[in-house]
Structures are given as structure tokens and as C-alpha cells.
Amino acid sequence: MKIKRKLSLPVIIILSVLYIFTLFSFSQENQNNYKINLPKFHSPPKIDGKIENPIWEKGVIIDTFTQFEPQEGANPSENTMAYVGYDDRNLYIAVRCFDSNPEAIRACLTKRDKVEGDDEVTIYLDTFNDKKRAFVFQVNPCGIQNDGIYTETRRRGRGRGFFGYDRNWDTFFLSEASIDDSGYNVEMAIPFKSLRFPNAQPQTWGLQIMRTIKRKNEEIYWRPRSRDINGFLVQSGTLEIKGAIDKGKNIEFMPVLTGLKQSDEKFEPEAGLNLKYGISSDLIADITYNPDFSQVEADMPQVEVNQRYAVYYPEKRPFFLEGKDFYDTPLELVYTRKIVAPQWGVKLTGKTGKTTLAFLSAFDTNPPDIKIGEEEEEDEEEYNPYNALVNVFRIKRDLYSESHIGFIMTDKEMGLSGDSITQNYNRVLGVDGHFKFQNYYRFSFQLLSSLSKMRDVETDFVPAMNFSFSRRARHLSFSASWTSIHPEFEASSGFFRRKDIHSLNTRVSYAFLPQNDLIISIRPSFEYRRIYDFNNTLTDEEFQLTGFINGWRQSHLWATVSSELERYEGINFRKKNFRANFSSEPFSWLSGRLSYSFGDAIKYEDNPYLGYKTSLGVTLTLKPLTNLSLYYDLKSDDFYRVKGGEKDYEVNIISQRINYQISRHLSLRLITDYKDYDAELYNSILLSYELRPGTVFYFGIDDNQERGESGIFRREGRYYFIKFSYWWRI
């Protein structure tokens, strides 16, 4: 059976809009006051967290910082001094953070990339100075590292990390810190071989230095940050390195040994290999064979009962994390969790001049099916007799600051073992662009077309598209977006909750800015959403009014009331709901979040009906010791046939995470998850030794139990696993 659809894309409109945008003047603020020429150190400073080496005095000294929060433009409550220099191999940064009450400094000893709620020093390095992407290096007063990638136009939410950057990316750098009677010190040495930068001389990079003082709700920056400017990296200063720097051979070699033993079976060891080769300082190739994709970090359990659409889980596997932001587009065409069991993978990522390139290829031995005209409900755990070759190609071209145009192609070829790999396929082509103009405004678009075949179902080219326009300023902000996805459109390597939609989403908000210790901002907003299917039937309409307050000690309060029409199984259901969320970090040893919602809800089944649902969520983090953290999470959903009537179902999920940091590199973790609806109990204990990213040893035990009708838990399976890997850099 072949499904034919005529492809019609508004190319003339897009080209006209692009031409109009080029007529605008794209202003840039004068950065001369925030441009530094780095001196070269003739001997490297010792990285011990003391800032006692006199070599630091020969670097550039930065002592002018400005508040962004709580009071934009004000002088900081505490003094800060930064020292910056370089030699052939490293960029060196030291920061002296004075504090009038050193005992109140928030600092914990924890695993790398697990620092939350502490005072911190953060360095943003925009090595291509394109105002689009930056490497981030963050250190707390105990010397614990966070690192990651900040992307200016990244898609928000769905596992994209906390505000500022996605910290799933890891690299090697040295850091030490110490607390004394006057505050704390941080020292860093960032190897140039850990970075990607233009193959040019001199080097001109964007630089921003940020310090946070959590108990005071205070953020301070070297170059002042303003809400009058739409964008973060455009508000960075610049550093210039006139001398030659050592790019290194950029060869990385990481063998991996893993082993798994189930309860009554033999130990099964496996070996894998990861190789990274720096073709140049700005173009990197990655090759992996039999990669280790064991889940050392378990997914937080989610409520999966009575869900109309697929649940989203973030990517955590190292091979797919580096450079994954290169594939970000308004519609998520690349969701690598759909590459379930890869046997091998190849990547090429980098930027040459104004052109960004990315290529990914992987062979999956357990791929999800290609769905044509069906909702995304596949089960990643289910065995599939097919093999698949997944390829992704991405190219972007910078047009000017914070703007680009790009092309993306995804290709999934799938066939039975022993047969042609091209028996079935899903191929998607797309063009997209993002444009910033007149300081406050942004426009983005994406045009896609898919071509698919699965067994006896085949399509011609099928369209999908997205347009978005937004204004973001100090007080008034608004946005509008239009998304159209054809019923037979398929992107089997991406994540789409719905097809068969013409969707309009609008939002307007206004910010009141008291900017004091109690309340920093108050933001009311109004949203309107309307969705039609391709038969021109109204399927969804929603009005939503939200209030958000940000204030004392990272306290956030928001509440939403909504009125919604949702069409399901040919029936129009009208719903009214209320949702509220409060979170706070009042003390160094205590933080938490409380959420509650109630209102009308649909029971998604063959004979659906409108019931009443309440949801409660409680999250609590306790740090009784600087090296011990206790995390508890409770989710509770109750569904009633009518308000105050018979209960249809109840779901309770209790999660516990206990982390004990024995030393900076050695830690012990215990996970306990209990889901009463499925009567499942999961326990996991993990001993970790992490010398640096890639050089690790793990030993863990996972235990799955299920409660029987008698109420007694019976073991369903116990697993022992080990992992050892070592990272060589040449």
C-alpha cells in the first residue's frame, strides 16, 4: 500500500521574511571596556586553591563585578578578584571570593557534576566568539567541578539541564579550592586540548565570569548583564591570545571493560573501545565499538499510568552527549534514546569558520519500529528482530551574531538479520533558521519532509513545519508559534508526541521587578493554544493564566489556572484545572519542592470519560554533613470517576537517593524506588571511583522485587555489574 501526499511548503514566504530581516540593523554593544589581552606565563602556577604564587599578579586582574540579581546594576555585597593568564598548554584562571561571613559559605563534597545549591564560580568560554555556544567550567568552594555546554538558542525543557547550561558534556581540567577566614579561593587550569577553537592566530574568545552567593540570592558578573538585552553570550566580554598555543595531537583512547552477572547465570564480561581524533582544533572524529551503554545513573521513575502520549526520558549515555546540541532544532528530529542497543557508532563534529558540521552513524541491534500514521508509544525494552543503521547529518551556517540557517537529514534503514538493511526506511530532510533582530526579537522556522516505508506501508514525501516569533525584554515579552505535522509524517529518530496537527501557541508576560532581598520579580502571563487536525476538526483549545514569583533564597512560587477543550476518541471533553508549585533553598542543608494540582481529567481508554484527578509531588534534599546528601521524591496521583466519588486508580511512587562521598574521587550511592501501582520495588547500590571523566571504576548491585497477592515481596532478579575504563590523552 502506498500513501501519496502532495508536498506544499511556503518557500516564497520564508525567503521574503529572510530578505526583510537582512534590512534591519543588528546592533552590538561596544565591548572595548571588557576586552583583555592575555599575558603569557613563563612558568605555570601551582593549582592548589591558595592563589599564593606571585605569577598570578602577572596576569590580567579583574576586580570590577556587577550584580544581576537581586538588584541589577548594583555593586556586589562582597568583593571578587579574578586573575587570568595562559601558557602554551593551558588557560589559567584564579578567583578570590571575599566573604564577610565565611562560615555561611555553601559548599559540599560530592561527585563531579552533582553540585547543586552551593556557592560557585562559573567561567563561560565562547571560543568561536559567535555568541551561540560556550564551554562552561564551574567550581564550588570545595573544588568540585561541574562542566557543560551553554547553547544560546537551545530548546528549553525535556532534560536540557538546569538554567545556564547542559552539564552532560564532560572534559578534563584541573581545579582546586580552599576556604579561609576571608572567603574562598578557586584556581583552574583548562587545557587547550580540552577545548574546540578556530585554527587561527590570534585567538579571540568570548569570556564571562560569574559568581553566585546562594544565601543572598546574588549573581554577579564581570561584564554587566542586563534584562534590556535579549541574549546571554552577546553580553560577554572578550579575551585575546596573541601567541601560539599548543593544540596537542588531540588523540584520545579509552578502552572499556564491563561485566554483568544475573542471579543464577555466569558472569558475562564485555570489552569495548572509544577513540577520539582531533582532525584539527575545530573538527573532531569519534569512533566507538561495542560501547558501554549501561545505565549507571538510573532514570527517575515517572507516572506512566493513563498517559495519552509517550513519556520523555533524557539521554545519559556518554557517546551521544558530546555535541548533541548541534542537532537541536525547533522540532526534535534527533532523540538518541531511540538508538537502543548500538553495536558501533561514528561521529564527526566541529566548526570551520562560520560553518558548523555534525555527522552521526550508529548500528542498532534492537531498534523501535518505524511508525507511519501512529502515535509514539513504542517500548524501548521490547525485543525487535530488526537491525537498523541510523545516520544523521547536520550543517549550520552563521549569518551574523546569534543567527544562522541550517540543513538536517536523518536516515534510518531497517531490515531483518541476514536480509537487506534497506528493506524499510525513514528519511527526513529539513531546513531551519534562527534570526535575532532589533535587540529584543527572534524569529525561527523549520521545514521538514519525510519519506517512509515499513513492511507494506509506504509514503511519498510528507510535510511538517514550525514557525516561531518572540520578543523578550525587561518587562514585556511575548511569543507566537505555528506547528503543522502531517498524519503520515514520521521521524523515527526523533521525538514527537503528536502528529496530525495544526497548532497555534501564543504567550504574553509582563515582569514587575521589585529587586529586593524578599522579592526579585513577579511575572504574570497568559497563554492561548489551539490545535486542529488535518480534517479541520478542532481537537484542543486552552486558556491559561499563570503567576510566577522569584525571591528569597532561591524561592520560586508559581500557580496556574486553565480552561481546556480536548478531543479524544471523537468526544469533546472540557476541563478546568489548577496547578501550583513552590520550591526553595532556605539553608545550606535543606532544599525542597512542593507541587499540587487538581481538576478535570480524561480516562484514556476505549470508552473514555471525564473524571477528576489530584496530583501531589514532594521533593526534599537534606545535607546533614558536607559529604552526605539524602534525596527523597514522592509522586501521588489519584483519579476519581467524579469529584468526591469512587476512586478509579491510585499511583504512588517513592524514590530515595542517598549519596555518601568518602573522598573527592570515591563515593557510595543507594537508590530505592517503589511503585505501588505495579507493586515493584527497585534497589541499587553503587560504589564509584572516578579519577577524572573517562577514568572510572564502578561496582554495583541491582535488585528487582515484586509484591505478590499475599503482600510479600519476591525477588524478580538480581544483577551484579562492574565497569572499568581508562582515558588516555596524547
pLDDT digits (tens, 9 = 90+) for 33-47: 799 999 999 999 999
Q: What is the pTM of this model?
A: 0.87
Within-domain flag for 408: no
Weakest mean pLDDT among 50-54, 98-102, 399-403, 600-604 = 399-403
Residue 27: per-residue pLDDT? 44
Q: Distance (Å, rounded) from C-alpha 730 to C-alpha 725?
A: 16
Residue 296: per-residue pLDDT? 54
For residue 105, the Cα-to-chain-centroid distance in whole angstroms is: 28
- Residue 94's CATH number: 2.60.40.1190
List, for residues 319-352, the tens digit of each pLDDT value. Answer: 787 778 888 899 999 998 888 888 999 999 988 8
Instruction: Say whether the peptide bond before residue 70 is cis (omega within 30 degrees of 0).
Output: yes
662 Cβ contact list (under 8 Å, min separation 6) = 627, 668
How far lies 639's CA from each of 302, 394, 438, 577, in Å?
16, 44, 49, 14
Residue 168: per-residue pLDDT? 77
Average pLDDT over residues 202-218: 94
Residue 617: per-residue pLDDT? 96
Q: Is the pLDDT of residue 551 over 80?
A: yes
Average pLDDT over residues 597-611: 94
Residue 299: per-residue pLDDT? 56
Residue 8: per-residue pLDDT? 47
User: Mean pLDDT of all residues in the chain?
Assistant: 87
Q: Is the pLDDT of residue 368 over 90?
A: no
8 A C-beta contact, residue 450 and residue 427: yes
Residue 154: per-residue pLDDT? 62
Q: Distance (Å, rounded) from C-alpha 545 to C-alpha 525?
A: 6
Residue 583: per-residue pLDDT? 95
Weakest mean pLDDT among 225-229, 265-269, 392-396, 669-673 = 265-269
Residue 483: per-residue pLDDT? 96
Q: Is the pLDDT of residue 138 over 50?
A: yes
Q: What percent of the chain has pLDDT over 90?
A: 60
Weakest mean pLDDT among 214-218, 369-373, 497-501, 572-576 = 369-373
Within-domain flag for 66: yes
Triad 640, 642, 644: Cα angle to 5°: 80
Q: Distance (Å, rounded) from C-alpha 235 to C-alpha 221?
A: 10
Residue 281: per-residue pLDDT? 78
Residue 530: per-residue pLDDT? 96
pLDDT tier for residue 380 given thresholds of 50, 70 and 90:
very low
Q: Report the number of distinct structural domains present in the chain.
A: 1
Residue 383: per-residue pLDDT? 62
Q: Distance (Å, rounded) from C-alpha 86 to C-alpha 60?
A: 10
Residue 582: per-residue pLDDT? 97
Residue 39: per-residue pLDDT? 94
Triad 311, 316, 319: Cα angle to 5°: 130
pLDDT tier for residue 9 given thresholds of 50, 70 and 90:
very low
Within-domain flag for 85: yes
Q: Is the pLDDT of residue 7 over 50?
A: no
Q: Is the pLDDT of residue 249 over 90?
A: no
List, for residues 465-490, the tens digit of each pLDDT value. Answer: 999 999 999 999 999 999 999 999 99
Residue 24: per-residue pLDDT? 47
Residue 6: per-residue pLDDT? 44
Weakest mean pLDDT among 119-133, 376-390, 473-487, 663-677 = 376-390
Helix/strand/coil for 324: helix
- More confidently predicted of 1 and 710: 710
pLDDT tier for residue 157 given thresholds of 50, 70 and 90:
very low
Weakest mean pLDDT among 127-131, 302-306, 443-447 = 302-306
Domain carrying residue 198: 31-241
pLDDT tier for residue 107 given thresholds of 50, 70 and 90:
very high
Within-domain flag for 201: yes
Residue 158: per-residue pLDDT? 43
Residue 305: per-residue pLDDT? 66
Within-domain flag for 379: no
Q: Is the pLDDT of residue 5 over 60?
A: no
In SS3 terms, 222-278 reads as: CCCCCCCCCCCHHHCEEEEECCCCCCCCCEEEEEEEEEEEECCCCCEEEEEEEEEEE
Within-domain flag for 174: yes
pLDDT tier for residue 160 given thresholds of 50, 70 and 90:
very low
- More confidently predicted of 84 and 245: 84
Average pLDDT over residues 179-207: 93
Residues 1-21: b if buried by 16+ CB within 10 A, e if exposed? eeeebeeeeeeeebeebbeeb
pLDDT tier for residue 306 given thresholds of 50, 70 and 90:
low
Residue 553: per-residue pLDDT? 87
- More confidently predicted of 306 and 296: 306
Residue 376: per-residue pLDDT? 46
- More confidently predicted of 711 and 177: 177
- How is residue 464 written as a grid cell? 511538517
